[in-house]
Amino acid sequence: MIGKWARMLLLAAPLLAGCAGFWQAPSSSTGGGTTPTTLSGGIYFVANQQTAQIAAFTIVSGKQTPVTGSPYTLPGSAAPYSLAVSPNHGFLYVGTSAGIYVYSISSSGALTLGNNSSAISGDIATTMQVDTTGNWLVEAGPTQQALFAIPISPATGAETSTTEQEVGLPAATIQQLALSPNDSSSCATCYVFVALGASGTEIVQFVPTNANPFGGTGNIPVSNSAGAALSVGVDPSNRLLYVGETAATTGTNTGGVSVFTIGSNIKEIAGSPYASGGLAPYSILSNPNGDYVYVANRTVGGSSNGNVSAFSITATGTAYSLSSLGSIAAGVTTVALAADSTGNFLLAVSSGGSPDLDAYTFSSTGALTAAITAATGTDPVQAIAIAAVP
């Protein structure tokens, strides 16, 4: 068992460097200088909880365009909670009130329900991610006080065994998980980070080549005993762990982003936690070079809308710091972020609508500019999750 420390978690071994991941770095030709209406983007999926549908889109010349066949009604009209795309682009996993379903993704983004239209697991997964090897679907939900790994086939997307591996968690207040990026199946020091509300952030060692990928565990407490860990994000090179927390800072908007270096230990950096620009940081996403990070705030003091805050990362030797690039308005109750595969757009969905989806372009310094607002179905749809094809 990895011990519990006050804002510092000692680890058994250093992490390996990670792969680029997430999205391609914005080029100078599209960094805010190009008129948004001329830009096109990749394929992404939105879980519309109220209508029990998955909507598939791409962006063509600055306009959100549905993929042929979209939207897709879930089996039994089960309510969706979470989405995850396999690293080989071939499969979409959908966590629902009736279990986890898998869909194959065509080159156009069209979805076909797999596994003989049956759920691959009966677990209620409110957060999940496929590891980089494509052999594990790591998932969790508040109905069980545990983290699960489902063995899956990168070729078919289906489970390869009905035996799920699991590790206990200190609380069932599961908010979100994120996996350390890794370059190959030989990764021996990867981790799963789980935001557990008032119970802090759990860290679980993850070795994808083992029959049971889970190893030792540890816990980082919340920065304020009155706060809660809501979101987690990992630097693409495994340099930094980001944890979004409530009640972490002072002022009108008390949400914060706690930042930790990852190495032979996980230690909070000077200046952390940083004000997130809102009350409840619900989603965190880094760019592939790790020089910018974006935070979706579910709520903002004095406003009915959420927002997205941007930060630049400065590295001075082994020391790191964050600088705010400002915040930009989003819809009501902003809950999730994704970035399209072209690197042209950062995407945010809001479960309260007004609008369901915001798309932003990037400046050359990482700041965001509003580009597109769109509905993701016949409102109200309660857009609860988003995932983009890598």
Q: What is the pLDDT of residues 272-314, one digit of tens each?
A: 999 999 999 999 999 988 999 999 999 999 999 999 999 999 9
Q: What is the pTM of this model?
A: 0.91
pLDDT for residue 185:
61
Name the token pair of 34. 């190009």
pLDDT in tens, 56-80: 999 999 999 999 999 999 999 999 9
C-alpha 62/C-alpha 69 separation (Å) is 21
Antiparallel, parallel or unpaired: β 136-140 and 127-130: antiparallel
**For residue 210, what are the contacts with CB-CB under 8 A and spacing of at least 6?**
none
The 8-class DSSP code of residue 9 comes to: E
* pLDDT beyond 50 at 6: no
pLDDT in tens, 118-166: 999 999 999 999 999 999 999 999 989 999 999 999 999 999 999 999 9
**Exposed/middle/buried for 75, CB within 10 Å: 0-12, 13-18, 19+?**
middle
Peptide bond just before 151 cis, omega within 30 deg: no
pLDDT for residue 201:
98
Q: Which residues pair with 57 in a beta bridge?
A: 44, 66
pLDDT for residue 5:
38
* pLDDT beyond 90 at 357: yes
